[in-house]
Structure 1
Amino acid sequence: MSGYRYQWSLFVDWCAAADVEALPASPITLAQFLDENPAGDAVQLRRVSAINRAHLDAGQPAPGGVTSIRIALDSARSERTIRRAEQDQMMIAAGLPTSGSTAALFGRRDAVLLMLAGAGLSHKAIAKVDRTEITTDGDAVWIGSRHRIRIAPNDSTGFEPVTIWDRWHPVLQFSERYPSTTLLAEHLQRNTFPDMTGLPLRSGPVAVPIDRWGHLPLPVTAMTAAEVGAVIARHRTGASPLHTPRRLLARPTDGGTDRRDPIVPEPVPLELDSGYYRSGVEARRRAHTALADVPDMVDDVEDRIEQLLQRTLQLLDPSTNGDST
């Protein structure tokens, strides 16, 4: 290491000034160091060799290897793709109908499904999320238990996770205590629900199936992972989600003669007209417009990181072209 003492000291001093760790250092840190300390290729390669040697001597992976840089570059590109898909889903969720029609029932639920998917939960995980695991913390939503995910608002895009959750949670509470499709539809039309904040929080799935009439199952059952995935996929492609009826279970009787049939409220047919489809398409269009027009600092940072990694890779492997992945 004696032959690299100057180069290593330069890197350590730069890391201290930049408030980043020198050992172990990430490929991104190495790329930023080379960018902020310009020199000829021979000098830069010697610096990379010094940093790699210090790491290997300490039993750490070398951040300046061609493979390490390639992995970091691929990871940066992959993370960007995932983040943009998540933003897309969040924006679609914010634009779905929430009141004025029975379609708002689907809009409220689907917005939560999209929000959870945008936060990184798999379809299987969404199907298993319990309402007791979701709480609000100021203007953010917290998913506890094994997930431990915080969903923050986005002022630039107008995404408000607490609002999305607060629209669906009362529906779950109300339908559980007052299992009447007619009453539920009336409250959706008025966009008002009774205050249920003082009621005990009951366990139950967040992803609940809804049939073509707007019925929620009683007792409450969860959607399957496949059903969750189908809803999310159709929203992301701009197609109107399909809502199929669920089979009604006949209640057994004890053969008594002096027993009246229960009074069942007349079902309110759900008219999923073109308005629901149009709302989804418009929400998706707004998502693309907002994400394209907002000067997102995260995009700028990611662009810069990708450029630095690509430049470092070309320094280490001159045969690499600009399109390498």
Structure 2
Amino acid sequence: MYATTPGTGDVPTPPPPRLSTRDRHVWVLFTDWCAATDQPPTPATPQQLARFLRDNPAAPATQRRRVSVINTVHRGQGHPAPGTDEAIRRVLNTTRAARLHRVSALVAERLPQIPTAGWPAGFFGRRDRLILALAAAGVGFEQIARLRRRDLTATGDHGAPLQLCIDGGRVDLPESPEIPMAAIYRDWIEVLGFLDQNDATTTIAEHFTAGRELTGFDAGYRADDRPLLTSINRWGHTPLDPAPPTARAVTAIVRAHLTGTAPAHILPPPKPRKPRRDTASDRYPIDDGRVLDPSYYERGTAARRSAHHELTDVTDLLDDIEDRADQLLVELAGILDDAF
């Protein structure tokens, strides 16, 4: 007999998917606990699952199996899996929890040092701050690189946590005064909202250089299937077609900031222009009384004929140089893609 949903007139909950005998015992234990605490077994919240694990202590392997069964039932009924919450994962994996605690402490220390204004430092800084915050929240580097705009959402309440879609399930990202995830996210989508309205990065460069605020541009941000993050070259320009950084690039960005070796992203000052040379004084009037050599025409014709013979292969040489230059540009583009 299936469990009933408390507080709804004892309406039976939908039957769980087919489970093994061992897993069925886990689900019955959970539904009995929910009935005793007057809570519905589905959909269960991460906090509810955490209390269940606390009230029913067991070996770590047993607790992980319990969470897996509860997640399976929720997915089978079309509900978000409560066990994908980062807090639950840290409870079940103490090694992971200790590692993320160290990473979070380093990220909290580095965040105030990363600029959000100035060009192109502020452009890089807003993107990198979001990458660091996501890494501190336990999101993997490959998952960060694959994120689309629709995968990360925030409600209108600035105090509400961000929701991240991973493998079809929604999880709340942790929010803390040291790592204000929602504020860091809004700093970045203000940039994306600005770029949605102004395609060229030269426009946002002028905005940053003038020290103007980007507040309000998040209203024009479109949460669609485009990459959430973007590659940026050393001059602050993004690809014409949206291209996210690779997982290796995300790893390098996190490592550089956590080790204090991240570049400052300061453009070199423009080279001063050389003054134009006034050549007017070197010119001679057309009629200055000079007498030309009577054989100058023959010598000029002979020189042109000789040059035509000696420069016959120049076109082929220039074509070869152009082909080599094109190959170098292709290799350079590959290097930049890997670096950023």
TM-score, length of structure 1 as denominator length: 0.48
> Which has more radius of gyration?
2
With CA pairs under 8 Å and 6+ residues apart, which has the higher RCO, 1 or 2? Answer: 1
TM-score, length of structure 2 as denominator length: 0.47
